[in-house]
Structure 1
Amino acid sequence: MSGRPAAPDRPTAPTAAVELSVVIPAFNEERRLAATLDAVTRHLHSAGSHWGSWEILVADDGSTDATRELVTVRSDPRVKLVVGSGNRGKGHALRLGVAASRGGHVLVMDADLATPVGELGRLEKALADGHEAAVGSRAVPGATLGDRQHRIRELLGKAGNLLIRRTTLRGIRDTQCGFKLFDGDKARAAFAASRLNGWAIDVEVLRHFQRADWPVAEVPVHWSHQPGSKVRPTDYLRFLRDLARIRIPVLRLRPADVLAVVLFLAMATALYSGRVLDPAHRYLTDSLQDQNQWEWFFAVTADNVAHLRNPLFTDLQGFPGGVNLMANTTMLGLSVPLTPVTLLLGPAVTLSLVMALGLAATATAWYRLIVRRLVRLRPAAFAGAAVAAFAPPMISHANAHPNFVVLFMIPPIIERALRLTTGARVTRDAVVLGLMAAYQFFLGEEPLLLAALGMLLFAVAYGVVRPDVARSAARPLLNGLAIAAAVCLPLVLYPLAWQFSGPQSYSGIDHGTAPGVANSVRALLSFAERSLIAGDAGRADALSLNPTEQNAFYGWPLALLAFAITVGLWRRPAVKALACTAAAAAVLSLGPSIALPLTGTTIPGPWTLFAGLPLFESVIESRVALVCAPALGMLLALAVDRLAHARRLSTQYAGLLAVSVALLPLLPAPLKSEPRTEVPAFFTDGTWKAYVRPGETLVPVPLAEPEDAEALHWQTATGLGFRMPGGYFNGPYGDGDRTGVYGVPLRFTASLLRDVRYTGVVPVVDARARAATREDLAYWRAGALVLAPQPRVERLRETVEKLVGRPGRRVAGVWVWDLHEGTQNRS
């Protein structure tokens, strides 16, 4: 990581007391510097020079020879020495020299005088023509070359310039010629914003000019190689590293940024501490059956990819109809690229890595967005990002739903959409936005839909607060969104068609009106089950669908704090828009009918505007409250930043105390885990292979279903070696009814065995029941029925014996009924 500049991040440009400042970086230049200073002084004194006032600043980079003395002994007060701390690089020296300059124009040149100072006139003309910077170039028509450098160095230089043009700067052929003239104020701003200490500072500064839309001219000059170069072979590697830091901002993290990432990773690891060290043998208690399901999703995707099969469909579950994987949350954006990990280490390890690392990456993404768009104070950004990623509803989904936890693409999507509003580089940003949206589509469609809803709420609120900004931003934003859609849709059109029209597709899932489908006001103000100090499992369960769908539970202290922040910072447009976004999302999450607290009165809710729309019809409306998490986090970041700049310590202490009180109930306890049920040896040692022929299925007793999907774990333990009917996935209710359901419609045998599982009552089995069972087994192409140890196993065994007409055999820890005629002594 490069060192931080000695100059402040945003220095105030000094009054232009002189017309021209010449900045010369120097390190051990005692042999060449005197001649260079003489040449520059003579030129500026000459009759042809129109510079009435000027200064020369030699920025010393920790020289150990007489370089400094060559400057200090000069009698001309316009020749000055700027001293840095140690030998930190040309970039650091330039940053110091430009920061100390006072010129209306700033000329940056090398001490070796490779480009004669007489070429300054060409650069002056370019600035007079309206450019803000003029770059001396050896690569444009009109340039002349004297002595050439070594052929290898020349080739390396050309390769570097080509790399820069292709990756970092557009339209500039030669960035490394050390002869450049800048508008003074803009030079000081650009160099102050720079972070690199090596040669690549030239690229970083010019990139700053291009991003600010300050015109840059490339001017042909005469250049001649001078002996005594300070460039070493290893410097080329540092140059490539610095280029990467310019191109990829995450590589330019400050120490505080690195600490934030480490803390987010530690927080995610602590949350999953009960499972992260032994994912194959630990089960998240509150995930219900979702851990089995998600591991199966990762396993089946890896299996499809490894065997070059369609990753959007499988018949390993729900046989013979199969599973439309695109209509389920398989997270192809991660499950496909992580195929090698799944095949090598198993789906349990893959899921554990995705959940823990994905949560930390999501927090990091929110942190980066807040730093870039809201506050510069890192602790404030950390607090806001922690709320956005680790809020109670996120912790609830962390049990079982990686698609709602791994949201690292949402903040960059928001950032790219905000860029569109400026009107600069609309096409480029729109193309990137379209690609980002397409990738998020393959991570989770519902989170993308909720993010779009949250962005719409924010845009409407901000437009009401700042109509002038909205009017200027509307056209580039809409144009950019149209381009983004044109990029995204072709990439997702076929998967969408498969999802909604392919085999086993469905139109939507009706979640009904059970408690927790929509939030209540009590749910929004209560504390979450996994709160470290205020958790109330009974209350949370009563106000939610299940432990994985506790989509509110922000707590009344945070609600009060958000209200206080809104009132205290109401003048800021961003605060108004964020507060309105959080409030609107909270109200929408209350569903189509809102029960007013303490009144017994129910009124229509605004969710009715969305409930019947395509895509929204399958959304569990309580999940809309997830939009509140980043909005509240950003309000918190703004408040902490304001407190840090408060004049009175008493105000800071009182404010931070209020923040602490509001956040303490949100601290999550580690997720509960327990030892995992062992897979019977019948599956782990391969015994099952003797009972299931190609094209046949293995039928678990009872069939796998959303309430008990342990059979999916059997499948993954065998490397997905067999098919089975039933399962845990989303599919249509039947051939004629495309309403979505969890699992599959139960046939006679499946329904009967399910009843025995839950009641323990062995039914009366007659000839009609046995005939129906034979029909079901033929429909499933069953090779064997398998009953593993479980509650009421004896009642289930008795029932199966009656249905099949013969007893099963105890084999490798399970009961097996071989359905092949005439088969004997299978083991």
Structure 2
Amino acid sequence: MSGESAVSGDQETRAAAGTRWLGAVGLSVVVPAPVPEQDLTALREHLDAHCGTGPGAWELIVVTGDAAAPAAADAAEPRIRLIRPGDTGSDTGSGDRRSGKGAALRAGVLASTGDRVLLMDPALSTPLDELTRLEEVLDQDARPGDGRPGDARPDDAHGAHGAHPGPGPAVVLGRSRNRLVRTLGIPGIPGFRADTCAFALFDGDRARAAFGASTLDGPAIDAEVLRWIRRQGWQVAEVELPARRTATPKTATPNAPTPRIPTPRPDRRQALGELFRLNAGGLAVALAFLALSFYVFQGLWTDLDGAYLADALQDQNQWEWFVGVTTDNITHLRNPLFTLSQGMPDGVNLMANATMLGLNIPLIPVTLLFGETVTFALVLTLGMAASAWTWYWLIRRRFVRGRWAAAAGGALAAFAPPMVSHANGHPNFVVLFMIPLIIDRALRLCEGHREGRSVTRDGVLLGLFATYQIFIGEEPLLIAALGMLVFCFAYLVVAPRRALEAARPLGSGLLVALGVCLPLVAVPLYWQFFGPQSYHSVLHGDNAGNSPRALIEFASRSLFGDPETAGKLSLNTTEQNAFYGWPLLAFGVVVCVWLWRSKAVRALALTGFAALLLSLGPWVPVPRTEIVLPGPWRLMIKLPLFESVIEGRVAMVCAPILGILLALALDRIRRLPAREARTLGLLGVAAALIPVLPLPLTVRDRAPVPAFITSGDWKGYVKDGEALVPVPLPDPGQADALHWQVEADFGFRLAGGYFNGPWGPDRVGIYGATPRHLSNLLRDVRYGGQPPEITDSWRLQARQDLEYWKAGAVVLPFQDRDTELRDLITGLLGRDPEQVRDAWVWRVGPP
């Protein structure tokens, strides 16, 4: 609804109702409730002094609270009009009986004719002296938002989406009151501000357009109108005002009581209902994402006690152990950054592992009540849904209007094949809901030079967001930062003037963010990089980059996927970091060509292309040949931090890029004039998406925990400070013993383990504890190797290794080749074991 049409329709309605038409008016003041005579006098005097006494200088519109009560105009002062909610502006006609703050404001604004519209609360608690400050902000020049990094809608350069060409923001909000009161808003409804527009100055045409598009009749109309304004790309400015005070009318007799019409308290039930109605679409999208996430993890939820993600390798055991050790450390008031629970005697630097303290610490009550597996399943399920929702929020805020187009983009960003692959056991690469918030805050900084945003405030929030993301997942943040950096360079290429304008506020905001973030993470990061069991880089092998074929093939858990093919082209089932499939990549190319006029789309295309190139690794084999070419990752492989990154994961940057392109395409297809073109476009979208639709993750039966552990019999063999030595020792290939420890409430320590730790004098990062002769021997025999001839040197080495681990007992559960293993250990230790329930046990610690 345009402002001009709103004014035209308003004139016709007013003419039909027989009200007086005053012509052009400078300022319309709308009060959504009756005002005592003394206050009307004071208002009239102030408006005369501020705006002038001419017939078109100002008008005051007072909306009566009762739609059935008669409304009248003061014949002596035609600039003051009393109206009922049903007199004008109602889409139900003059017989409308709707009431409430929303109905009153809508009626008052639509009855106005001013170039500007001022809204005041019925108590007139903000003095009109503050109007000058709002006018100064509304007078500021503003330019159209074509091509800026934060507004990538491809049609904006042509004035689409309701972009208003006029100067100044659409509305200036006068912020006052105590911040806590503003935050609480309606009593009992945290987060709802009941007085957002209690003292606000609007551009007149925009105000009538916004309130004409509103539907709510109660207090939530403030949120509805401001949301509608922001979605037009119009600016909303804020001015801090002094604490509100009750104004005494100039004509009042000193010491005489001033009659007041009490302002009704907001109806809590009505506000809740309106908030639900206002957010019903977003809630529906959230529920759809949650349903999709439960669909992916349905196998895990159907049997939380016995199901194990079949493609998780040992990562589910590891991450459940992270949940348990965090809970154990915090509840026993121990250092959450370190533990001796595994990796004896050196321990584990938890900050240098994907411990996700930012989630595991808040979820300690869930872990204590329901166990580590429930927490693991909740983090994965809610994390993927929350990530989809924040991507949806960012896409709708920055790129498209259509709710379901943005929802499709958010779903692709969060449930793309690489994300589903990592969902097998890498929650740190699934729970990405902070990344869109960080991106949005960075874009707000880019807009600071144009929209008068507070660089300090946005920088502080960016620093807090980044801090929290560090405690959720550092590597995803690093990869996201790399993607944003590439986007900045790409935008500098396609829109140098805009990029350079944004550089100064962005740089200032980043300095503020660093000033906030670094003090908060200084101690944890120092512990991570210089504390006990820290390391400098992680060895991933020579094939950590993506094969070029992996970019166009389908992942194991995609609808068209072939597990055998995907397995040959990836590190393992949790590291299928590309596998977007050729139809989806082809679709992305077509959308980029179609929307190439948009600078943001060009920058996104360059960013995605660069990410795919980097993900190929330092050496790129040419398929079906013996040729190996140097890759661009060679330039980064020795850089600090990046030397520990699995380069194939950089391709995950393309998931949100493809999600944004999908949303843009759906939004444009929806607006195509020809039905045949819309049908063809939707068929193209379906052809791109159907092959990569996610399948539910498969599960298997979890390996049972030995009764020797669950019964507590281990307590008679392992003393405090000693380690239990499982056979074989836990390592990245087999870490079921970590689950034993979880089931035993971390009552014993473990030799060996599955974690990231240092190896050798150079402290290079490896997976698992540093291997010993005995651990290698037991592993070899367990998986088919022939036991060696037992010699004195082997016995000596076994005793040294057990002493090194501070072993209290060696435990051999009943398993394949347990006879060979039992004979081997008996020969090494020189004595027979005890059979305790379903395990052979050798007590090896001091008596």
Following TM superposition, by how much is the alpha carbon of 1:279 offset from its aligned partner in structure 2, in angstroms?
Answer: 2.0
Equivalence for 1:436: 465
Contact preservation (8 Å) 2:285, 2:389:
yes
Mapped to 1, the partners of 2:197 and 2:436 lie a distance apart of 38
Equivalence for 1:594: 620
The answer on 1:49 being equivalent to 2:43 is: no
The DSSP-based 3-state class of the residue aligned with 1:674 is strand
Change in Cα spacing, 1:77 to 1:720, as seen in structure 2 (3 Å) is closer
Counterpart pick for 1:702 among 728, 740, 755? 728
The DSSP-based 3-state class of the residue aligned with 2:299 is coil
Cα deviation digits, residues 777-800 of structure 1 (max 9, x gap) = 222222211111222222211211
Contact preservation (8 Å) 2:445, 2:459:
yes
Change in Cα spacing, 1:747 to 1:187, as seen in structure 2 (3 Å) is same
Equivalence for 2:656: 630
The answer on 1:511 being equivalent to 2:540 is: yes
The DSSP-based 3-state class of the residue aligned with 1:443 is coil
Counterpart pick for 1:89 among 75, 91, 100? 100
Following TM superposition, by how much is the alpha carbon of 1:411 offset from its aligned partner in structure 2, in angstroms?
Answer: 0.5
Contact preservation (8 Å) 2:7, 2:208:
no
Equivalence for 2:69: 66
Change in Cα spacing, 1:60 to 1:664, as seen in structure 2 (3 Å) is farther
Equivalence for 1:184: 204
Equivalence for 2:180: 163
Contact preservation (8 Å) 2:197, 2:222:
no
Mapped to 2, the partners of 1:691 and 1:739 lie a distance apart of 35
Following TM superposition, by how much is the alpha carbon of 1:451 offset from its aligned partner in structure 2, in angstroms?
Answer: 0.3
Equivalence for 1:754: 779
Mapped to 1, the partners of 2:649 and 2:130 lie a distance apart of 60
Following TM superposition, by how much is the alpha carbon of 1:623 offset from its aligned partner in structure 2, in angstroms?
Answer: 0.5
Following TM superposition, by how much is the alpha carbon of 1:716 offset from its aligned partner in structure 2, in angstroms?
Answer: 0.3
Equivalence for 1:714: 740
TM-score, structure 1 as length reference: 0.84
Mapped to 2, the partners of 1:463 and 1:193 lie a distance apart of 38
Change in Cα spacing, 1:552 to 1:37, as seen in structure 2 (3 Å) is same
The answer on 1:416 being equivalent to 2:441 is: yes
Mapped to 2, the partners of 1:547 and 1:372 lie a distance apart of 35
Contact preservation (8 Å) 2:344, 2:750:
yes
Change in Cα spacing, 1:519 to 1:40, as seen in structure 2 (3 Å) is closer
The answer on 1:772 being equivalent to 2:801 is: no
Mapped to 2, the partners of 1:75 and 1:744 lie a distance apart of 88
Change in Cα spacing, 1:162 to 1:215, as seen in structure 2 (3 Å) is closer
Cα deviation digits, residues 752-782 of structure 1 (max 9, x gap) = 1111011152321122211221222222222
Following TM superposition, by how much is the alpha carbon of 1:596 offset from its aligned partner in structure 2, in angstroms?
Answer: 3.5
Change in Cα spacing, 1:131 to 1:445, as seen in structure 2 (3 Å) is closer
Mapped to 2, the partners of 1:436 and 1:39 lie a distance apart of 47
Change in Cα spacing, 1:382 to 1:200, as seen in structure 2 (3 Å) is closer
The DSSP-based 3-state class of the residue aligned with 1:763 is coil
Contact preservation (8 Å) 1:132, 1:183:
no
Aligned CA RMSD, in angstroms, stands at 3.9
Q: How many residues align?
A: 766
Change in Cα spacing, 1:662 to 1:59, as seen in structure 2 (3 Å) is farther
Contact preservation (8 Å) 1:22, 1:57:
yes
Give percent identity, aligned residues only.
50
Change in Cα spacing, 1:481 to 1:217, as seen in structure 2 (3 Å) is closer
The answer on 1:524 being equivalent to 2:554 is: no
Structure 1: which amino acid aligns with 2:821? L
Contact preservation (8 Å) 1:14, 1:102:
yes
Following TM superposition, by how much is the alpha carbon of 1:643 offset from its aligned partner in structure 2, in angstroms?
Answer: 0.6
Cα deviation digits, residues 391-415 of structure 1 (max 9, x gap) = 0000000001000000111000000
Change in Cα spacing, 1:176 to 1:475, as seen in structure 2 (3 Å) is closer
Equivalence for 1:212: 236
The answer on 1:106 being equivalent to 2:117 is: yes
Mapped to 1, the partners of 2:484 and 2:599 lie a distance apart of 15
Alignment gaps of 5+ in structure 1: 1-7, 134-157, 169-173, 246-250, 823-827
The DSSP-based 3-state class of the residue aligned with 2:747 is coil
Structure 1: which amino acid aligns with 2:460? V
Contact preservation (8 Å) 1:683, 1:714:
yes
The answer to which of 774-783 and 662-671 deviates more is 774-783
Contact preservation (8 Å) 1:301, 1:332:
yes
Contact preservation (8 Å) 2:3, 2:205:
no
Contact preservation (8 Å) 2:224, 2:278:
no
Mapped to 1, the partners of 2:655 and 2:101 lie a distance apart of 45
Mapped to 2, the partners of 1:482 and 1:48 lie a distance apart of 47
Contact preservation (8 Å) 1:332, 1:443:
yes
Cα deviation digits, residues 518-572 of structure 1 (max 9, x gap) = 111210000111012x120110000001100000100000011001101111001
Structure 1: which amino acid aligns with 2:791? D
Change in Cα spacing, 1:277 to 1:67, as seen in structure 2 (3 Å) is farther
The answer on 1:371 being equivalent to 2:396 is: yes
Counterpart pick for 1:604 among 624, 627, 630? 630
Mapped to 2, the partners of 1:200 and 1:763 lie a distance apart of 78
The answer on 1:18 being equivalent to 2:24 is: yes
Give runs of aligned pairs for residues 467-616 of structure 1, distance below 5 A.
Answer: 467-514=496-543, 517-532=544-559, 534-597=560-623, 600-616=626-642
Equivalence for 1:814: 839
Mapped to 2, the partners of 1:75 and 1:713 lie a distance apart of 82
Alignment gaps of 5+ in structure 2: 12-22, 91-95, 141-174, 186-193, 250-256
The DSSP-based 3-state class of the residue aligned with 1:105 is strand
Equivalence for 1:344: 369
Equivalence for 2:172: none
Equivalence for 1:805: 830
Change in Cα spacing, 1:57 to 1:527, as seen in structure 2 (3 Å) is same
TM-score, structure 2 as length reference: 0.82
The DSSP-based 3-state class of the residue aligned with 1:713 is helix
Give runs of aligned pairs for residues 52-451 of structure 1, distance below 5 A.
Answer: 52=56, 63=66, 65-67=68-70, 81-82=87-88, 84=90, 86-87=97-98, 89-108=100-119, 161=178, 163-164=180-181, 183-185=203-205, 187-188=207-208, 197-199=217-219, 212-213=236-237, 221-223=247-249, 226-229=259-262, 231-232=264-265, 235=267, 254-423=279-448, 424-451=453-480
Contact preservation (8 Å) 1:265, 1:357:
yes
Following TM superposition, by how much is the alpha carbon of 1:109 offset from its aligned partner in structure 2, in angstroms?
Answer: 5.6
